């Protein structure tokens, strides 16, 4: 998330600032001359605009003037934008004098540009800031944090974190390790755990990261907590260096101005994750178009075969415990959930998943839809929306998730996928839930864009030949 924020602040704002320069310069030229014919030497104007853009690029990447962009007030933002434009005009004017462009270039254009670019840049920056505040305030996009500390440290820790943490962090829970404060609220934040049962409580929460401030805890207990969160796939920040942990899964970082060691099993640059998301958006959009084309024919077949809605929806568990509603073309009779209890004795899967061959709950059309994977086409909407990815782990049902231990829980530390490693490794031929978990964790631990592309191509082959589908 910090990498994501950095990319938005540096690359995103740099691009926006360049657009503002071009718009302001074109507008300033038009205001000065009333058209684009009487400006004189057009090549000089083009070169001046290019110099302004070059300055904007250098100032962004070397001066890093958009640092702490999200934490600046409107007045501080106005001051920084004014400073940026003033220095830009001074530098470009000096350059124009140096190369003798000032003799043939209207100074009024620069004056108009200064005023226009100041107001345009400020307005765009504030609009982006408002959008990002709204974006990060949503349930799906905020980073949910549990703070684990001692009673004497609660106020101090919260004061510091609330002052220093970036806006995309949301403290959702507290745990007090030296006093039983469970059931109480501190500053509107519930205390959900004490010395005992911390990991069990965290396992069932929608949680992304944990922050530990425990100066008096024993090393043994501290290691148990950190390993417990690590097994769940939850990033764990500790505000003092802790020797003895796995170096290849830790990194020195900052969290709310604390120096921490971050322990994580999943390490990847945000640039690659951003490319993965772009792939999901493009693939989700194309998939929705295919779904719309197939919809009339599939809907007619489902309706003629059995009574009930065309689409089936169900709450599933997404990344780090987030709930979302998954969509499929209905392939079962309407009483499928009730009949499931009667068929549990015939379950062919060992563990938490339910799967039987020739499932009597499946309709005739549903059997074809499942064999060809057409029933999963509506999930492209989930992919486009961001609940799912093209490639990922299998999203569990709520019933399954309630039975998870911390080892199973780590398989949802990554966004669930429309397809994944276990689907292309046998699908329904796999008869043990632990094998599903093994494939999912193998995917998480070895994730790369190349692996995603490989699985997508393998999925095409699996779907075409129906390998392992039931």
The per-residue pLDDT for 266 is 66
Question: C-alpha angle 88/94/99, rounded to 5°?
Answer: 125
Q: Please state, in angstroms and as integers, the Cα–Cα distance from residue 267 to each residue in 20, 233, 243, 407, following that order.
A: 35, 11, 20, 18
What is the Cα–Cα distance from 85 to 88, expressed in whole angstroms?
5
Where does the pLDDT of residue 301 fall: very low under 50, low under 70, confident under 90, or very high at 90 and above? Answer: very high
State which H helix or E strand residue 275 sits in. helix 270-305
Is the pLDDT higher at 464 or at 370?
370
The per-residue pLDDT for 257 is 78
pLDDT exceeds 80 at position 48: yes
Contact of 375 with 366, CB cutoff 8 Å: yes
The per-residue pLDDT for 255 is 83
Is the pLDDT higher at 160 or at 347?
160
Where does the pLDDT of residue 43 fall: very low under 50, low under 70, confident under 90, or very high at 90 and above? Answer: confident
Q: Stretch 382-405: mean pLDDT, rounded? A: 91
Q: Stretch 422-441: mean pLDDT, rounded? A: 78
The per-residue pLDDT for 145 is 94
pLDDT exceeds 80 at position 44: yes
pTM, entire model = 0.70
- Structural tokens at position 95: 């350059």
252, 240, 255: which is closest to 164 by C-alpha?
255
Domains of the chain: 2-137 (no CATH), 143-263 (3.40.50.720), 270-465 (no CATH)
pLDDT per residue as tens digits for the range 51-75: 999 998 888 877 777 777 878 889 9
Mean pLDDT computed over every residue of the chain = 85
Q: Stretch 173-195: mean pLDDT, rounded? A: 89
Q: Stretch 348-364: mean pLDDT, rounded? A: 77
- Structural tokens at position 125: 């920056």
Residues contacting residue 67 through CB under 8 Å, at least 6 positions apart: 9
pLDDT exceeds 80 at position 248: no
What is the Cα–Cα distance from 453 to 127, expressed in whole angstroms?
36
pLDDT per residue as tens digits for the range 88-99: 999 999 988 888
115, 110, 2: which is closest to 48 by C-alpha?
110
Residues contacting residue 426 through CB under 8 Å, at least 6 positions apart: 467, 468
Where does the pLDDT of residue 324 fall: very low under 50, low under 70, confident under 90, or very high at 90 and above? Answer: very high
The per-residue pLDDT for 139 is 74
């Amino acid at each position: 998330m910090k990498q994501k924020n950095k990319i938005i602040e540096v690359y995103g704002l740099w691009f926006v600032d360049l657009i503002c320069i071009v718009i302001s310069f074109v507008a300033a030229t038009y205001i000065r001359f009333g058209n684009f014919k009487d400006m004189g030497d057009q090549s000089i104007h083009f070169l001046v605009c290019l110099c302004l853009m070059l300055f904007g690029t250098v100032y962004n990447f070397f001066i890093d003037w958009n640092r702490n962009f999200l934490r600046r007030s409107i007045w501080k933002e106005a001051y920084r934008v004014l400073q940026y434009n003033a220095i830009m005009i001074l530098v470009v004017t000096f350059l124009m004098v140096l190369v003798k462009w000032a003799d043939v270039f209207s100074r009024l254009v620069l004056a108009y540009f200064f005023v226009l670019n100041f107001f345009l840049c400020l307005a765009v920056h504030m609009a982006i800031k408002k959008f990002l505040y709204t974006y990060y305030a949503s349930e799906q996009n905020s980073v949910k944090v549990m703070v684990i500390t001692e009673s004497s440290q609660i106020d101090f820790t919260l004061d510091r974190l609330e002052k220093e943490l970036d806006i995309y962090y949301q403290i959702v829970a507290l745990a007090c390790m030296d006093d039983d404060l469970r059931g109480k609220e501190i500053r509107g934040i519930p205390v959900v755990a004490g010395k005992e049962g911390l990991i069990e409580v965290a396992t069932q929460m929608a949680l992304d990261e944990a922050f530990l401030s425990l100066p008096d805890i024993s090393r043994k207990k501290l290691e148990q907590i950190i390993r417990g969160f690590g097994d769940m796939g939850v990033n764990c920040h500790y505000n003092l260096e802790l020797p003895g942990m796995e170096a290849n899964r830790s990194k020195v970082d900052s969290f709310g101005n604390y120096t921490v060691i971050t322990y994580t099993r999943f390490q990847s640059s945000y640039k690659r994750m951003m490319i993965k998301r772009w792939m999901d958006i493009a693939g989700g959009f194309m998939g929705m178009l295919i779904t719309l084309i197939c919809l009339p024919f599939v809907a007619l077949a489902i309706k003629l075969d059995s009574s009930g809605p065309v689409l089936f929806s169900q709450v599933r568990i997404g990344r780090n415990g987030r709930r979302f509603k998954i969509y499929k073309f209905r392939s079962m009779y309407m009483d499928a959930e009730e009949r499931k209890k009667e068929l549990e004795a015939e379950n062919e899967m060992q563990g938490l998943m339910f799967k039987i061959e020739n499932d009597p709950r499946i309709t005739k059309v549903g059997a074809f839809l499942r064999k060809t994977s057409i029933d999963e086409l509506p999930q492209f909407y989930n992919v486009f929306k961001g609940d799912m990815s093209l490639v990922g782990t299998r999203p569990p049902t709520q019933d399954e998730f309630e039975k998870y231990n911390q080892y199973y829980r780590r398989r949802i530390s990554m966004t669930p996928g429309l397809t994944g490693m276990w689907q292309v490794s046998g699908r329904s031929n796999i008869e043990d839930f632990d094998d599903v978990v093994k494939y999912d964790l193998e995917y998480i631990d070895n994730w790369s864009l190349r692996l995603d592309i490989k699985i997508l191509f393998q999925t095409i082959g699996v779907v075409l030949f129906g390998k392992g589908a039931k």
